[in-house]
Structure 1
Amino acid sequence: MNDTRPAQIAAPVWLGVVLIITGLLGLLGAFSLSVERIELLLHPEEALGCDLNPFLTCSGAIESDQGAVFGFPNPFLGLMAFPAPIIMGVLTLGRVAMPRWVWTIFSIGVLGAIVLVLWLAQQSIFVLGFVCPWCFLVWLAMYAMAFPLWTWAFGAGALPAPAGLRRVAARYSAWGWVLSLTLAVILVVTIMIALPGIPRFLFAF
């Protein structure tokens, strides 16, 4: 069966905006965590600015085994990875039609990032028992990036899919944010149920 997907794909402007904004937010989170990591090394006796209470803390995440999944601090991975969506977003705003394989590899890379982020969130909430504020920003940035990208990618042919799924994805590609919002709400509700100290801390303000 012949592959009818286009060889060159120009993504819509709205997707470029999404990639740039979410990439910048993720980069902000990764950069801030990297700075905090350095601060912790230089001043191990001092509390970090993002250590708000026992349930909202950066230092606990940084010093945990989960904070260095690949043998080096996770924020360094973010510093290397988040420029990619920013670059893709800028090229999209420039109306550059890129080879299909570029979008395919990028979409698969985002899938790998989402798997890692979901695992880190599960470990943070249910194993470590706290949430790192900057990590939370990175999680939300990835949620907001992933589903709009994937719905568009299936509809545009950047990812292989049956013809029926491609038609549905193409029709509703601009509504991927609904899935992102749903996952974000599930995350927030899970945190508030699993870590009751966080709602008490927030309501104290």
Structure 2
Amino acid sequence: MIHPPARTPNAATAQHVQGAGASRGTGLVMLVAGTLGWLASFQLAVDDWRLLKDPSYQPPCNISPVVSCGSVMSSPEGSVFGFPNMLLGLGAFAAVAVLGAAVLAGTRLHRRLWLALAAGALAGVVFVHWLIVQSLYELNKICPYCAVVWVVTIALFWCVTLHCVNHGIFPVPHSLLVLLRDTHWMLLGAWYGVIALLVLTRFWPYWSSLT
């Protein structure tokens, strides 16, 4: 019987640098998060364009005095970088969805690409939390499509971070690695729970008036 040659440390290192495969779960999260984020960004872009053409236009997401997106889009927070925020989402989420589809197809992404994706997800999640604070405590509105972007951006950041930690792209102590593997669903649930609690308490008079 002919045995395959033993992998040398140099060969293993070269493969690690060349590319890192990901589980189907990781690829699926990337594809779903990218698709939902892109659809939400697209709808916001369409409504923003219609508002520019007709200031009296009422977007379908203007549901109530609290649940509304028209005033959010027209606010300075809606165009932080001098152009509508949703244009960033259209490009970023499209790239994420394509990479997710590639991972599902078995493509091994280069380590540098995972690092770039992790950096982009980190920037996105920081930006999203700034927008959450602005939405709750400055604009006093909840934009439904923006909320979709919040949810998928956090899920994407968490998924990509766990992948990078599990594959040694981000070196972490073994004890922390074990902790993340054992509790990552609970930590993500607690993260979403804190945001939901903030939304609930911030607009409690409105929510309680609906009952």
The two structures have a TM-score, normalised by structure 1, of 0.88
| 1:157 Cα deviation from its structure 2 partner | 1.6
Q: Percent identity?
A: 27
Picking from 72, 75, 99, the partner of 2:86 is 75
Count of aligned pairs between the two proteins: 198
- Structure number with larger C-alpha Rg: 2
Q: Which residue is 1:56 aligned to?
A: 67
Q: Which residue is 1:141 aligned to?
A: 152
Q: Which residue is 1:195 aligned to?
A: 203
Unmatched segments (≥5 aa) in structure 1:
none
1:155 aligns with 2:166: yes
CA 162–45 in structure 1, closer or farther in 2 if over 3 Å, else same: closer
| 1:180 Cα deviation from its structure 2 partner | 2.8
**1:24 and 1:82 in contact (8 A); partners too:** yes
**2:165 and 2:172 in contact (8 A); partners too:** no
CA 104–47 in structure 1, closer or farther in 2 if over 3 Å, else same: same
**1:154 and 1:165 in contact (8 A); partners too:** no
What secondary structure sits across from 1:98 in the alignment? coil
Q: Which residue is 1:124 aligned to?
A: 135
Q: 1 CA distance for matches of 2:100 and 2:206?
A: 35
| 1:163 Cα deviation from its structure 2 partner | 4.3
CA 89–198 in structure 1, closer or farther in 2 if over 3 Å, else same: farther
State the Cα RMSD in Å.
2.2
Return the letter of the residue paired with 2:178.
Answer: V
**2:40 and 2:146 in contact (8 A); partners too:** yes
1:14 aligns with 2:25: yes
CA 180–130 in structure 1, closer or farther in 2 if over 3 Å, else same: same
Q: 1 CA distance for matches of 2:102 and 2:50?
A: 35
| 1:162 Cα deviation from its structure 2 partner | 3.2
Unmatched segments (≥5 aa) in structure 2:
1-12
What secondary structure sits across from 2:22 in the alignment? coil
Q: 1 CA distance for matches of 2:79 and 2:173?
A: 41
**1:117 and 1:139 in contact (8 A); partners too:** yes
Q: Deviations over 1:149-197 (max 9, x none)?
A: 21121111222x234257427x718x63433322222111101101225
Return the letter of the residue paired with 1:26.
Answer: G
Q: Which residue is 1:164 aligned to?
A: 174
